[in-house]
Amino acid sequence: MKAASKILLVLLSLVTTGAAHVGSPDVYYEDHAGPYPLSVVVRMPLVVPGVAVIEVRSLSDNLKSIQVVPTRIQGEGSKFAPVPDVAERASDDPKLFRAHLWIMMRGAWKVQITADGEKGKGELSVPLAAAPGNSLALQGPLKWLLTGLMAVLVIGLVGIAGAAVREGMSDPATAPVPSSKRRSARRVMICTALLVIAVLAAGKFWWNWEAASTAQAAYTVPRVVTSLSASNTLLLRLQRTDSGRWAERIQLDDLIPDHGHLMHLFLIRFPDMDRMYHLHPHQDSAGQFSQNMPALEPGRYKVFADVVHATGFPETQTAEITLPETHEGTLQGDDSFATGISLLSKIQNTNVTYLEDGGRIIWLDSNVFVPPREPVKLHFRVEDASGKPATDLEPYMGMAGHLILISSDGTVFAHLHPNGSPPMAAVQLANGTGMADHAGHNIPSEISFPYGFPKAGLYRIFVQFKRAGRIETGVFNVSIVQAIDN
Ligand SMILES: [Cu+2]
């Protein structure tokens, strides 16, 4: 019974895609709820409706209780929050609070967190994107095993029906069975076989119907259509997701700026990941963007286009494009370009990136062992040419830093900030605040990014800072290994 329900679970479960990023659905976030610094992890459900697990870690000692409640980010649903749940304090860790929350519908949500302690109450909202992805296909060996077992059952059933008519009523002593009984047994076997085939056909029909309605609820990452014009302009046409019930809801004329730009475009040369462009195309009309390209290094690039809808729902649309070598064009405004050694090179990637002016970016915890989905802080220090902590850091698009992370197979892509994984535009909508104003503020030379790697594998990290008007990029690798359970 247990095995059967497990198989059914495999058949029915969906894989969450994580719309804000690609292949990275869980949310990692750090901020203050009033006077209390908190580190929040939200494990998104595999299906919607489904249960999200919220883990709130207090980063101070004076917290007594945590309450959580999920609401919509925007619209009527955001005004009528249900009664909050009290998060349970972990028995083995007094600073960790855990709660389970039902996410009833797809789309943009937030978890409202109320912290209570010695300094009174404080609130914080963390945005979530509930976007269950494609259902898993039945795996080959399991499919053949189940088909074989079904064939055995069908043959057995037909055989039993025949035997019942042929020999069911006969006296064990009298043999052989008269031929009239054999004839009617044959007829019953044919009828049984037809009946079983009809039942199987009905089952197949039901299964396909279920699969189709599940697919309608699934979110597929849309492919942005890209082309390079003769004048070295990259044209991008955003697409709507092709899964039915999403396509009718997601508009392309409702994009809102995320740290100052409607689109953040990343072009990464594959499979080496030795070149990266971070650009900000101009919106010409709804869903239509263009970008005057800088001088290009030729090659095959993976394209990741980050946008945020007015609902607070983020999307990363993806594509691939082959770019030719061009020498004209320069980087404009907030745009940047970075080079690194090939991900495939035998040379060991170090924890240091040397900058043009003699300064360096150091990844301080590069050798820390992190199993998949474990919350971690990626911690960096920027030094000047004399090896001292850099004092010339300034906000880059309103942020202390930006971190782009891609798995070697391109199935995971995430864009992080010192607050964590949700896009800033969604954070601002969820909390009803404007963009954090770092102007005039000193950016510290040590900056960290909370995250959890979704799966084992090799990842490349591009971390970007701005120093005295220059955008600097640190390029690092990290290998995430599955923890071995003893
Ligand atoms: Cu950013």
Q: What is the CATH number of the domain that holds 39?
A: 2.60.40.1930
Q: Residue 464 phi/psi, 5° resolution?
A: -120, 135
Report if residue 19 sits inside a domain.
no
Q: What is the CATH number of the domain that holds 450?
A: 2.60.40.10
What's the gap in Å between 166 CA and the centre of ligand 1? 77
What's the gap in Å between 180 CA and the centre of ligand 1? 83
Report if residue 172 sits inside a domain.
no
Residue 16 has pLDDT above 70, yes or no: no
What's the gap in Å between 306 CA and the centre of ligand 1? 10
What's the gap in Å between 18 CA and the centre of ligand 1? 17
pLDDT at 9: 41
Spacing of C-alpha 37 from chain mean position: 25
Confidence of residue 19 (pLDDT cuts 50, 70, 90): low
What's the gap in Å between 12 CA and the centre of ligand 1? 35
Of the residues 293, 310, 344, the one at which a domain ends? 344
Task: Note whether 460 and 338 are same-domain residues.
Answer: no
Task: Note whether 401 and 338 are same-domain residues.
Answer: no
DSSP string for residues in 102-144: EE-SSEEEEEEEEEEETTEEEEEEEEEEE-EEEEPPPPHHHHH
Of the two residues 382 and 179, the one the predictor is more confident about is 382
> Average model confidence (pLDDT) for the chain?
88
Confidence of residue 76 (pLDDT cuts 50, 70, 90): confident
What's the gap in Å between 421 CA and the centre of ligand 1? 10
Residue 484 has pLDDT above 60, yes or no: yes
What's the gap in Å between 200 CA and the centre of ligand 1? 53
Task: Note whether 228 and 337 are same-domain residues.
Answer: yes
Task: Note whether 389 and 485 are same-domain residues.
Answer: yes
pLDDT at 13: 42
Residue 5 has pLDDT above 50, yes or no: no
pLDDT at 437: 52
Task: Note whether 32 and 65 are same-domain residues.
Answer: yes
What's the gap in Å between 276 CA and the centre of ligand 1? 14
Report if residue 9 sits inside a domain.
no
What's the gap in Å between 247 CA and the centre of ligand 1? 27
Domain, as residue range, for 84: 26-130
DSSP string for residues in 250-277: --SS-EE-BTTBS-EEEEEETTT--EEE
Of the two residues 80 and 237, the one the predictor is more confident about is 237
What is the rounded average pLDDT of the residues 170-190? 81
Task: Note whether 365 and 330 are same-domain residues.
Answer: no
Of the residues 321, 344, 367, the one at which a domain ends? 344
Of the residues 291, 323, 344, the one at which a domain ends? 344
What predicted TM-score, i.e. pTM, was given to this entire model?
0.82
Task: Note whether 380 and 456 are same-domain residues.
Answer: yes
Distance CA 210, CA 223 (A): 26
What's the gap in Å between 98 CA and the centre of ligand 1? 29
What's the gap in Å between 418 CA and the centre of ligand 1? 10
Report if residue 2 sits inside a domain.
no
Q: What is the total count of domains within the chain?
A: 4
How many other C-beta atoms lie within 10 A of the C-beta of residue 77?
15
What's the gap in Å between 305 CA and the centre of ligand 1? 12
What is the rounded average pLDDT of the residues 246-255? 80
What's the gap in Å between 471 CA and the centre of ligand 1? 13
Q: What is the dihedral of CA 206, 210, 215, 216, to 10 degrees?
A: 110
How many other C-beta atoms lie within 10 A of the C-beta of residue 99?
21
Task: Note whether 84 and 149 are same-domain residues.
Answer: no
Report if residue 174 sits inside a domain.
no
What is the percent of the chain with per-residue pLDDT over 70, rounded to a whole number? 90
What's the gap in Å between 448 CA and the centre of ligand 1? 14
What's the gap in Å between 195 CA and the centre of ligand 1? 61
What's the gap in Å between 154 CA and the centre of ligand 1? 59
What's the gap in Å between 90 CA and the centre of ligand 1? 33
Residue 249 has pLDDT above 90, yes or no: no
Of the two residues 274 and 433, the one the predictor is more confident about is 274
What's the gap in Å between 403 CA and the centre of ligand 1? 7
Residue 231 has pLDDT above 70, yes or no: yes
What's the gap in Å between 415 CA and the centre of ligand 1? 6
What's the gap in Å between 261 CA and the centre of ligand 1? 10
pLDDT at 244: 67
pLDDT digits (tens, 9 = 90+) for 440-464: 567 899 999 999 999 999 999 999 9
pLDDT digits (tens, 9 = 90+) for 331-343: 989 999 999 999 9
Residue 17 has pLDDT above 80, yes or no: no
Task: Note whether 304 and 227 are same-domain residues.
Answer: yes
What is the percent of the chain with per-residue pLDDT over 90, rounded to a whole number? 64
What's the gap in Å between 298 CA and the centre of ligand 1? 25
Report if residue 56 sits inside a domain.
yes
Residue 165 has pLDDT above 90, yes or no: no
Residue 102 has pLDDT above 60, yes or no: yes
What's the gap in Å between 281 CA and the centre of ligand 1? 14
Of the two residues 127 and 181, the one the predictor is more confident about is 127
Task: Note whether 356 and 336 are same-domain residues.
Answer: no
Task: Note whether 161 and 290 are same-domain residues.
Answer: no
pLDDT digits (tens, 9 = 90+) for 292-343: 999 999 999 999 999 999 999 999 999 999 999 998 888 989 999 999 999 9
Confidence of residue 177 (pLDDT cuts 50, 70, 90): confident
Residue 6 has pLDDT above 50, yes or no: no
What's the gap in Å between 314 CA and the centre of ligand 1? 13
Report if residue 463 sits inside a domain.
yes
Task: Note whether 41 and 71 are same-domain residues.
Answer: yes
What's the gap in Å between 417 CA and the centre of ligand 1? 6
Report if residue 13 sits inside a domain.
no
Taking a C-beta distance cutoff of 8 angstroms, is the pair 294, 329 a contact?
A: yes
- Strand pairing partners for 471? 466
Lowest mean pLDDT among 9-13, 18-22, 71-75, 106-110: 9-13
Taking a C-beta distance cutoff of 8 angstroms, is the pair 343, 407 a contact?
A: no
